[in-house]
Amino acid sequence: MNWINKLEKKFGKYAIPNLMWYIIILYGIGFVIQMVMPDFYYSYLDLDAGAILHGQIWRIVTFLIQPPSTSIWFVIFALYLYYMIGTQLERTWGAFRFNLYFFMGVLFHVIAAIIVYLATGLSLPMGTFYLNLSLFFAFAMVYPDIEFLLFFVIPVKVKYLAWLDAAFFGYTVLQAFLPAYGGSEVFGIVYKAQAAAAAVSILNFLVFYFSSRNFKAHSPKEVKRRRRYHEAVKMAKKSNGNAAAPAGAKHICAVCKRTELDDPRLEFRYCSKCNGNYEYCQDHLFTHTHVK
Protein backbone atom coordinates (compact mmCIF):
# COMPACT_ATOMS: atom_id res chain seq x y z
CA MET A 1 0.00 0.00 0.00
CA ASN A 2 1.59 3.31 -1.05
CA TRP A 3 1.31 6.63 0.77
CA ILE A 4 -1.60 7.87 -1.33
CA ASN A 5 -3.69 4.82 -0.43
CA LYS A 6 -2.85 5.31 3.23
CA LEU A 7 -3.88 8.96 3.10
CA GLU A 8 -7.09 8.09 1.28
CA LYS A 9 -7.98 5.52 3.91
CA LYS A 10 -7.46 8.04 6.71
CA PHE A 11 -8.64 11.31 5.17
CA GLY A 12 -10.77 10.28 2.18
CA LYS A 13 -14.00 11.32 3.90
CA TYR A 14 -12.81 14.93 3.97
CA ALA A 15 -12.38 15.21 0.20
CA ILE A 16 -14.28 18.02 -1.51
CA PRO A 17 -16.49 16.65 -4.30
CA ASN A 18 -16.72 18.66 -7.53
CA LEU A 19 -13.61 20.59 -6.50
CA MET A 20 -13.03 22.05 -9.96
CA TRP A 21 -16.42 23.73 -9.86
CA TYR A 22 -15.42 25.67 -6.74
CA ILE A 23 -12.05 26.54 -8.29
CA ILE A 24 -13.85 27.93 -11.35
CA ILE A 25 -16.01 30.10 -9.07
CA LEU A 26 -12.88 31.45 -7.35
CA TYR A 27 -11.36 32.34 -10.73
CA GLY A 28 -14.58 34.12 -11.66
CA ILE A 29 -14.39 36.18 -8.47
CA GLY A 30 -10.72 36.94 -9.15
CA PHE A 31 -11.52 38.06 -12.70
CA VAL A 32 -14.15 40.51 -11.43
CA ILE A 33 -11.72 41.87 -8.82
CA GLN A 34 -9.03 42.43 -11.46
CA MET A 35 -11.49 44.20 -13.73
CA VAL A 36 -12.85 46.48 -11.00
CA MET A 37 -9.70 46.99 -8.87
CA PRO A 38 -6.64 45.94 -10.95
CA ASP A 39 -4.08 46.61 -8.20
CA PHE A 40 -6.00 45.06 -5.31
CA TYR A 41 -4.95 41.47 -6.05
CA TYR A 42 -1.21 42.21 -6.17
CA SER A 43 -1.40 44.53 -3.18
CA TYR A 44 -3.26 42.24 -0.80
CA LEU A 45 -3.98 38.78 -2.25
CA ASP A 46 -1.15 37.36 -4.39
CA LEU A 47 1.49 34.84 -3.30
CA ASP A 48 3.95 37.31 -1.76
CA ALA A 49 6.29 35.24 0.42
CA GLY A 50 7.68 38.31 2.15
CA ALA A 51 4.19 39.49 3.13
CA ILE A 52 3.26 35.97 4.28
CA LEU A 53 6.28 35.78 6.55
CA HIS A 54 5.36 39.19 7.96
CA GLY A 55 1.89 38.06 9.02
CA GLN A 56 -0.32 38.18 5.90
CA ILE A 57 -0.93 34.43 5.99
CA TRP A 58 -4.24 34.72 4.12
CA ARG A 59 -2.20 35.02 0.92
CA ILE A 60 -1.49 31.27 1.15
CA VAL A 61 -5.12 30.78 0.10
CA THR A 62 -6.17 34.00 -1.64
CA PHE A 63 -3.57 33.71 -4.43
CA LEU A 64 -5.74 30.89 -5.81
CA ILE A 65 -8.30 33.36 -7.20
CA GLN A 66 -5.95 34.80 -9.84
CA PRO A 67 -7.65 34.11 -13.22
CA PRO A 68 -5.59 32.72 -16.13
CA SER A 69 -5.98 35.96 -18.13
CA THR A 70 -7.57 39.39 -18.17
CA SER A 71 -9.21 38.61 -21.52
CA ILE A 72 -12.78 37.51 -20.96
CA TRP A 73 -12.80 35.26 -24.05
CA PHE A 74 -9.58 33.50 -23.08
CA VAL A 75 -10.85 33.11 -19.50
CA ILE A 76 -14.08 31.51 -20.71
CA PHE A 77 -12.17 29.07 -22.93
CA ALA A 78 -9.56 28.27 -20.26
CA LEU A 79 -12.13 27.75 -17.50
CA TYR A 80 -14.17 25.48 -19.73
CA LEU A 81 -11.05 23.42 -20.47
CA TYR A 82 -10.07 23.31 -16.77
CA TYR A 83 -13.56 22.21 -15.79
CA MET A 84 -13.78 19.50 -18.44
CA ILE A 85 -10.37 18.01 -17.64
CA GLY A 86 -10.70 18.41 -13.87
CA THR A 87 -14.13 16.84 -13.56
CA GLN A 88 -13.17 13.93 -15.81
CA LEU A 89 -10.06 13.25 -13.73
CA GLU A 90 -12.13 13.40 -10.55
CA ARG A 91 -14.57 10.84 -11.97
CA THR A 92 -11.65 8.57 -12.84
CA TRP A 93 -9.41 9.02 -9.79
CA GLY A 94 -12.06 9.76 -7.20
CA ALA A 95 -12.55 13.00 -5.27
CA PHE A 96 -9.75 12.39 -2.77
CA ARG A 97 -6.99 11.80 -5.30
CA PHE A 98 -8.02 14.79 -7.37
CA ASN A 99 -8.12 16.95 -4.22
CA LEU A 100 -4.70 15.65 -3.27
CA TYR A 101 -3.22 16.46 -6.69
CA PHE A 102 -4.49 20.03 -6.69
CA PHE A 103 -3.76 20.94 -3.08
CA MET A 104 -0.36 19.25 -3.14
CA GLY A 105 0.46 21.49 -6.11
CA VAL A 106 -0.74 24.52 -4.17
CA LEU A 107 1.48 23.53 -1.23
CA PHE A 108 4.49 23.15 -3.55
CA HIS A 109 3.86 26.68 -4.87
CA VAL A 110 3.81 28.14 -1.37
CA ILE A 111 6.92 26.25 -0.27
CA ALA A 112 8.82 27.23 -3.44
CA ALA A 113 7.89 30.92 -3.02
CA ILE A 114 9.08 30.94 0.60
CA ILE A 115 12.34 29.11 -0.21
CA VAL A 116 13.15 31.53 -3.05
CA TYR A 117 12.39 34.50 -0.81
CA LEU A 118 14.60 33.23 2.02
CA ALA A 119 17.41 32.41 -0.39
CA THR A 120 17.34 35.47 -2.65
CA GLY A 121 14.98 38.02 -1.11
CA LEU A 122 12.74 37.87 -4.20
CA SER A 123 8.98 37.53 -3.84
CA LEU A 124 7.75 35.57 -6.84
CA PRO A 125 4.04 36.23 -7.57
CA MET A 126 3.14 32.71 -8.67
CA GLY A 127 -0.42 31.79 -9.61
CA THR A 128 -2.02 28.42 -10.40
CA PHE A 129 -1.99 28.79 -14.20
CA TYR A 130 0.75 26.18 -14.65
CA LEU A 131 -0.72 23.91 -11.99
CA ASN A 132 -3.93 23.76 -14.03
CA LEU A 133 -1.95 23.21 -17.22
CA SER A 134 -0.20 20.26 -15.56
CA LEU A 135 -3.62 18.60 -15.24
CA PHE A 136 -3.36 18.10 -18.98
CA PHE A 137 -0.38 15.76 -18.43
CA ALA A 138 -2.43 13.68 -16.01
CA PHE A 139 -5.36 13.67 -18.44
CA ALA A 140 -3.07 12.53 -21.26
CA MET A 141 -1.72 9.67 -19.12
CA VAL A 142 -5.24 8.42 -18.42
CA TYR A 143 -6.84 9.15 -21.80
CA PRO A 144 -3.96 9.24 -24.33
CA ASP A 145 -6.05 8.47 -27.42
CA ILE A 146 -8.88 10.96 -26.96
CA GLU A 147 -8.86 13.53 -29.77
CA PHE A 148 -9.13 17.30 -29.37
CA LEU A 149 -9.78 19.66 -32.28
CA LEU A 150 -6.69 21.85 -32.63
CA PHE A 151 -7.77 25.31 -33.79
CA PHE A 152 -11.31 23.78 -33.73
CA VAL A 153 -10.50 21.98 -37.01
CA ILE A 154 -7.55 19.56 -36.80
CA PRO A 155 -8.15 16.36 -34.75
CA VAL A 156 -5.09 15.60 -32.59
CA LYS A 157 -4.73 12.93 -29.93
CA VAL A 158 -4.22 14.17 -26.40
CA LYS A 159 -0.89 12.36 -26.02
CA TYR A 160 0.60 14.49 -28.81
CA LEU A 161 -0.81 17.71 -27.39
CA ALA A 162 0.81 16.74 -24.09
CA TRP A 163 4.21 16.89 -25.79
CA LEU A 164 3.42 20.43 -26.96
CA ASP A 165 2.42 21.25 -23.40
CA ALA A 166 5.74 19.82 -22.19
CA ALA A 167 7.63 21.97 -24.70
CA PHE A 168 5.78 25.04 -23.44
CA PHE A 169 6.70 24.19 -19.85
CA GLY A 170 10.33 23.64 -20.86
CA TYR A 171 10.52 26.99 -22.65
CA THR A 172 8.88 28.74 -19.71
CA VAL A 173 11.60 27.44 -17.39
CA LEU A 174 14.38 28.15 -19.91
CA GLN A 175 13.43 31.76 -20.60
CA ALA A 176 14.06 32.73 -16.97
CA PHE A 177 17.75 32.08 -17.65
CA LEU A 178 17.92 33.92 -20.97
CA PRO A 179 19.40 37.44 -20.81
CA ALA A 180 16.64 38.86 -22.99
CA TYR A 181 14.00 37.67 -20.52
CA GLY A 182 15.23 36.65 -17.07
CA GLY A 183 17.98 39.27 -17.19
CA SER A 184 15.54 42.14 -17.65
CA GLU A 185 15.23 44.33 -14.56
CA VAL A 186 11.63 45.19 -15.38
CA PHE A 187 10.21 41.81 -16.44
CA GLY A 188 12.83 39.45 -15.03
CA ILE A 189 10.83 38.85 -11.85
CA VAL A 190 7.76 37.89 -13.90
CA TYR A 191 9.67 35.34 -15.98
CA LYS A 192 11.32 33.90 -12.86
CA ALA A 193 7.90 33.57 -11.21
CA GLN A 194 6.51 31.78 -14.27
CA ALA A 195 9.54 29.47 -14.40
CA ALA A 196 9.20 28.59 -10.71
CA ALA A 197 5.46 27.93 -11.08
CA ALA A 198 6.07 25.72 -14.12
CA ALA A 199 8.85 23.79 -12.35
CA VAL A 200 6.86 23.05 -9.18
CA SER A 201 3.80 22.09 -11.25
CA ILE A 202 5.86 19.54 -13.16
CA LEU A 203 7.34 18.31 -9.87
CA ASN A 204 3.83 17.88 -8.48
CA PHE A 205 2.79 15.85 -11.53
CA LEU A 206 5.88 13.62 -11.36
CA VAL A 207 5.47 12.95 -7.63
CA PHE A 208 1.83 12.04 -8.12
CA TYR A 209 2.55 10.02 -11.27
CA PHE A 210 5.25 7.82 -9.78
CA SER A 211 3.26 7.42 -6.55
CA SER A 212 0.20 6.18 -8.43
CA ARG A 213 1.87 3.34 -10.33
CA ASN A 214 1.48 5.18 -13.64
CA PHE A 215 -2.26 5.62 -13.02
CA LYS A 216 -2.91 2.08 -14.27
CA ALA A 217 -5.40 1.43 -11.50
CA HIS A 218 -7.41 4.44 -12.69
CA SER A 219 -7.19 3.99 -16.44
CA PRO A 220 -10.39 3.85 -18.51
CA LYS A 221 -9.79 0.13 -19.05
CA GLU A 222 -9.68 -0.49 -15.31
CA VAL A 223 -12.71 1.72 -14.70
CA LYS A 224 -14.67 -0.20 -17.33
CA ARG A 225 -13.52 -3.52 -15.87
CA ARG A 226 -14.62 -2.48 -12.38
CA ARG A 227 -18.00 -1.37 -13.72
CA ARG A 228 -18.57 -4.70 -15.46
CA TYR A 229 -17.57 -6.53 -12.31
CA HIS A 230 -19.98 -4.61 -10.07
CA GLU A 231 -22.80 -5.05 -12.56
CA ALA A 232 -22.15 -8.79 -12.58
CA VAL A 233 -22.18 -8.83 -8.78
CA LYS A 234 -25.53 -7.09 -8.66
CA MET A 235 -27.06 -9.34 -11.30
CA ALA A 236 -25.84 -12.50 -9.64
CA LYS A 237 -26.77 -11.19 -6.15
CA LYS A 238 -23.92 -13.02 -4.57
CA SER A 239 -24.03 -13.22 -0.82
CA ASN A 240 -20.37 -13.96 -0.19
CA GLY A 241 -17.17 -15.48 -1.50
CA ASN A 242 -14.61 -14.62 -4.18
CA ALA A 243 -13.99 -16.30 -7.48
CA ALA A 244 -11.69 -19.26 -7.27
CA ALA A 245 -8.02 -18.39 -7.55
CA PRO A 246 -5.97 -20.00 -10.34
CA ALA A 247 -3.95 -23.06 -9.48
CA GLY A 248 -0.92 -22.14 -7.39
CA ALA A 249 -2.30 -18.74 -6.31
CA LYS A 250 -3.42 -17.92 -2.77
CA HIS A 251 -4.90 -14.50 -3.43
CA ILE A 252 -7.11 -13.00 -6.14
CA CYS A 253 -8.46 -9.46 -6.49
CA ALA A 254 -12.24 -9.36 -6.80
CA VAL A 255 -12.01 -6.43 -9.25
CA CYS A 256 -9.11 -6.98 -11.62
CA LYS A 257 -8.68 -10.75 -10.98
CA ARG A 258 -4.91 -10.38 -10.60
CA THR A 259 -3.08 -12.71 -8.25
CA GLU A 260 0.35 -12.74 -6.65
CA LEU A 261 1.44 -14.83 -9.64
CA ASP A 262 0.80 -11.84 -11.93
CA ASP A 263 2.91 -9.50 -9.82
CA PRO A 264 4.74 -10.67 -6.67
CA ARG A 265 4.82 -7.05 -5.44
CA LEU A 266 1.04 -6.91 -5.13
CA GLU A 267 -0.46 -6.81 -1.65
CA PHE A 268 -3.94 -8.19 -0.91
CA ARG A 269 -6.42 -7.36 1.85
CA TYR A 270 -9.98 -8.31 2.73
CA CYS A 271 -12.54 -5.49 2.89
CA SER A 272 -14.42 -5.38 6.18
CA LYS A 273 -17.20 -3.25 4.67
CA CYS A 274 -18.13 -5.71 1.93
CA ASN A 275 -20.87 -8.25 2.59
CA GLY A 276 -18.80 -11.38 2.10
CA ASN A 277 -15.17 -12.47 1.92
CA TYR A 278 -14.02 -10.22 -0.87
CA GLU A 279 -10.29 -9.77 -1.31
CA TYR A 280 -8.74 -6.83 -3.16
CA CYS A 281 -5.29 -5.87 -4.39
CA GLN A 282 -3.62 -2.68 -3.21
CA ASP A 283 -4.85 -0.78 -6.28
CA HIS A 284 -8.51 -1.55 -5.64
CA LEU A 285 -8.78 -1.88 -1.86
CA PHE A 286 -9.82 1.76 -1.45
CA THR A 287 -11.38 2.39 -4.85
CA HIS A 288 -13.89 -0.45 -5.22
CA THR A 289 -17.62 -0.22 -4.61
CA HIS A 290 -18.55 -2.12 -1.48
CA VAL A 291 -20.65 -5.25 -2.07
CA LYS A 292 -23.84 -5.10 -0.02
The domain locations on the chain are 3-218, 238-281
pLDDT confidence bin for 179, thresholds 50/70/90: low
Task: Please give the share of the chain, as a percent, with pLDDT higher than 70.
Answer: 81
| pLDDT over threshold 60, residue 26 | yes
| Contacts of residue 172, Cβ cutoff 8 Å, sequence gap at least 6 | 130, 194, 195, 198
| pLDDT over threshold 50, residue 237 | no
| pLDDT over threshold 80, residue 78 | yes
Whose CA is closest to 11, among 21, 3, 22, 20?
3
d(CA 240, CA 113): 53
Q: Are 26 and 64 in contact, with CB atoms under 8 Å apart?
A: yes
Which pLDDT value is given to residue 247? 65
Over residues 67-76, the mean pLDDT reads 83
Over residues 229-245, the mean pLDDT reads 52
Which pLDDT value is given to residue 238? 45
Higher pLDDT, 25 or 71: 25
d(CA 202, CA 222): 25
d(CA 28, CA 36): 12
Length of the chain counted residue by residue: 292
